[in-house]
Every structure is written in C-alpha cells, then in structure tokens.
A and B are shown apart, each in its own frame.
Chain A
C-alpha cells in the first residue's frame, strides 16, 4: 500500500477502459478499443504502432481536443474526459503543450507573436508575455529569430518555435504527434535533444512516432495495435506479471 500511495502522488494520467468509437454509416471503427494507461509525472513516453492503430486518437483525448466515447480519463485526479468545451479549452491552455507534425505556426505572425499566442488566450499582459516569449525562444535556441516569419525559418527552426509556443504557458504535459515526421535526420535529432533536455528539467513528455530510433530514445515505449496496447516497456511501465501489488489499479 505504501508503494501505491507513492505512485498516486506522482500520478498524472490515469486511463481506464478508454474507448473511442467512430460510426460511419453501418461501419463502426474502434479507434481505441479499451485502453488502460497510467503515466506518472516526469515520464518520457513514446507511443508507437502501425498506421490506424489509434495513436493520434489517444493523443487527442489526452490533450483534451476530443472526448472518449466510453471509459475514464483522469488527469491528476480531475475527470477531464467529462469537461465541457470551455473547460477543456481553459485546461488545454494552462496544462497542455501541443507540438504537431506540420508545426501549425500562423504564417502572418512572427516567431515571437506565435509564441505569445497561448499567453494571449491566458489573459497575460503584453509586457509579461513578450518577456516570457523571448525567454522561451532563447531556450529553444532562437533568441535571434524573434522577428522572423515562419516562411523565413527552416523546418527545424519552425518546429522549435512551435515547441517554444507549446512551453509558453508552462504546461505540465507536452504532447507531440510525430514531431520529427517532417524533419530530416539531423534537425530531427536536434528537436529530440531539446525534448530530452526539457524532460530532464521535469516536463512530462508523450510523443507519437513511427521511427524506432526516436522511440528508443524515450524512457518508455507503449505499442498500439488495432486500438489496443500490445506492449508497454521501460521506466514507469506496469510490472510484467500482474500480481497482488497491482490490485490498486483495478478496484473491484
């Protein structure tokens, strides 16, 4: 019981029997077909699996962009799966940072303005958000590119701006769906190195990848197939033979 309490204090994500079902006409697709997953604070998790296995569906629910069809999603004990649109928006804004494969920077805005965007929705004053945006850009190594627009930056630089934006509101969890998918080998490595530094500073990190080398650099690997977790290895994964010590995870 002492071990269970210690884990619970560190708990971030606790998912039980999570399902995401898409109905298209007569056809029913189980994007997630009953997923149990526990992720603690400070973990660095890679989610892998073939195309269509449900990785993005899970990430969308974890990030509060989508709601589960069935099952429980608790974030630090909060029933995020049941939040309404506005609650989710506020929660995403404060707690989650997103990094997308295609960067998703606003082309009209400069790097600095892109990084300021989440802070604007958080209602932070212009002076403070400017200062913090500069700090974030400096942190990702782009302190001298503040005034550049996305089209004036390389892919790797754009992704680093996107990471700075994701960090702007000091989130608890960074979600990255194929963050290196659009980058070449070298710039991909740079981005991964940045992620590892952030994780070392205590940021919880979940990333989706098709690349086994990328996955291998994470501390834990969760494999999906057809909406199920088929393998979960590394730091923080549940112990292989489910014994009595594991009973807290499935209360009768």
Chain B
C-alpha cells in the first residue's frame, strides 16, 4: 500500500476523536513545554552570567583583599580598619616585576552626589589609574582620559558616563570643560565614556564616573584612609595563554611583599575571570541539565498517557483491525498505522508544547531580565516527542499487528 494512505489512516483516526486526541496529546504538550522552558531558562541564565563576566573585560585578573576569619566581619574592614592590605605600591610592584601584562590599575570606588548648575545626581565614582580603561575594555567617546601626570599631581579631573551627562546637563550637551562638584570637591570633566548600555543584570553601565586614583581616594571615598590603599587591582594579560602564569607570579610576588609565612593563607585573592567564567558556565550547565531532566520526567508521563490511550484504542478497534486484515492489510500495515497514530499525536503535542514553551520562556526571560534563548529547542522538542510516540506507541501497535483476524472479527 501507499505511504500516504497510511498517514491518512492515522490522521483520520486522530481526527475522528478530537477530544480524546487532544487530551492524549496534552501530556506531551505539558512535557515538551516544560522541557523547552527549563532549558531556555537555563540557557538564558547562562548567557546572562557569561555576558556579565565578559563585560568586565577580557584576559582580566582581579586582585582583591581577602578577609580571613581572624580579621572580624566585613563591616569593620573599611579603610580605617586596616583590613585592606592592597596598596598602590603593590600595583606598582606588579607592573615593574611581572611580565606579560598590558595594563595594571589600582582602583577605589564609592557612591557620591554630583552637582552641576543646580542639577543633582547620585552616582558611582571610581578612582583609578589611566590603565584602568585598557583593563576594563572601556573607551572614551568624547574628550580624553586623564593621564599619569594629572593623576600623580592630584588634578581634579573626571571622565563621566553618558547617564551622568544626561542627568546633569541634558542629552545633547557637550560637557567637556564643565565643572561639577563631586561631594564638596570641584572637578572638571575632561572626557565622556562611550556608552555601554545596560549590563546583562540590568544595571546601567553608563551611570558612573572615573577620576584619578589619588584625588578620588583622598577627597571623595575615604578622607581618613591610609595613604595608598586600593580596593582592587585590575590586571590585563597581553595574551590569554599567559593568564595562569601571570596569576601565579602575582600571587608569589604579593605573598612576598605582604610577608606571608609559607603555611599561612593569602590576605588577597587573584581571580582569573576566565576561570570564573568557566566554572560559572559549568554550574549553569548542570543547572540546565537538571531542570531539563526534571521536565523530561513529565514528557515520559505524557508518553505513558499515549500508550494507555493507544491500548484502549486497539482494543476498541479490534474488529476494525480484523476487517482490515481480512481484506488484505499485512501485519506491517497495521503496525505502521497504529505506530504512526501514536507518533503523530505525540509530535503534534510536541509542536504545541514547543510554542507554549517558547511563550513561557519569553515571559520568564522578560521578568528575569535575560535574553530569550531559543537554542536548539525546536528540533529537540519535535525529535523527542516523536521518539516518545514511537517508544510508547510501539507496544500497542505491535499488539494490534499480532491480532488473529478471525478472533478479531468475532469480537463484539
């Protein structure tokens, strides 16, 4: 017989019981929708984490103080507490002694009020050395970055983000040369950063400003701070392959400078952002697989529903099967007819589930603030649901094909 007629038989049987077919497929609809949603959530979360970490800069190492238990809690580890053990001279030493670095920048940061011409805005200020721009992959859109000399002389100049410009002067104003007050200290704007937009976590990356490390440290962030502390040292390796070696060299150098005994813990940590990215990706991958696995269980339950209805259908249609055999259907024709019916039900459920899953994932991505990732969910959903139909339809179809035509015809 012709293939197309087998498909017609299967379609006809499905269409003749629309309600039953819909309810049977519902299990697969729910299963596939759940799998698609879960996997999409996992992928969305992953891409959000990835872009957050990537957004910090490439080939980046971040050295930060490590507070150990003996040091008490974080709250009294401020500038006064002496908990912060990194200094500008550490940064200088790294720059002088560790090879393979294209940028070394110490940084402090704080929140502050900025005032210009009566306009007033609360933002984040970072005190950095000019290398910071390189380390963080930031660019100047207008004006210029302050240079080493200005930084060293304690000049009060700033480079501002676009949001700060907009808030203080309005959208289309050139703020270069304008004077603003940061806290109580007057600064001059020398540059504007190229806008970066929202981060993956929904944070406005343009709502910030950069000032020379010394000026910001002494005048804005912590006036009582010990001379040359920095909260972070940003390092950029000139080459991705060097990251591990640089990390080791920096660790060794800082242990030496901080006079840490061989058996003691570091009082700082060097984070390799590439390694952080990798482990974060691994974690979200596992998370994705777990979520998908849980959802897949509901797909299996849907498959069992199909098997159940197919068994009912075979026993209801025993006489029909006997008649088909009597007038010339081969066992394989009967087997294929019922298997196709199960596969079609399941695949249709899969297609509907896919659409629902996408809609759900889209909504959740909106709420969660991460990009909506479709990934390979379409072929997977259709493929898996067809497979479910095949697996759970196989036994009922086999039962149908094994019927004895004489007994089947005699069945009431």
Contact = CB atoms under 8 A, between A and B. Distances in A.
Interface residues of B, number: 23
Contacts of B319: 104
Contacts of A123: 1-2
The SS class assigned to the B binding surface is: helix
A65 B408 CA distance: 11
Interface in B88-141: none
B406 A60 contact: yes
Main secondary structure of the interface of A (DSSP, over half): helix
Contact of A121 (B1, B12, B13, B322): B1
B328 A165 contact: no
Output the residue of B12, B328, B405, B409 with the most chain A CB within 10 A. B328
Contacts, number: 58
Nearest to A169: B328
A108 B328 contact: no
A75 interface: no
Contacts of B185: none
A165 B322 CA distance: 15
Interface stretch (B224-232, B276-284, B298-306, B329-337): B329-337
A118 interface: yes
A127 to B, nearest CB: 12
A89 B406 contact: no
A78 interface: no
Given A89-B325, A104-B409, A106-B320, A122 B1 contact: yes
B173 interface: no
Contacts of B2: 120, 123
A92 B330 CA distance: 10
A60 B327 CA distance: 13
A104 B325 CA distance: 12
A90 B330 contact: yes
Most chain B beta-carbon contacts within 10 A, residue among A65, A86, A123: A65
B333 A121 contact: yes
B323 A118 contact: no
9 contacts: A63-B326, A66-B406, A86-B330, A89-B331, A92-B328, A108-B13, A121-B327, A122-B1, A169-B328
Given A63-B326, A117-B327, 7 more contacts: A89-B329, A90-B328, A93-B328, A98-B327, A121-B324, A121-B329, A122-B328
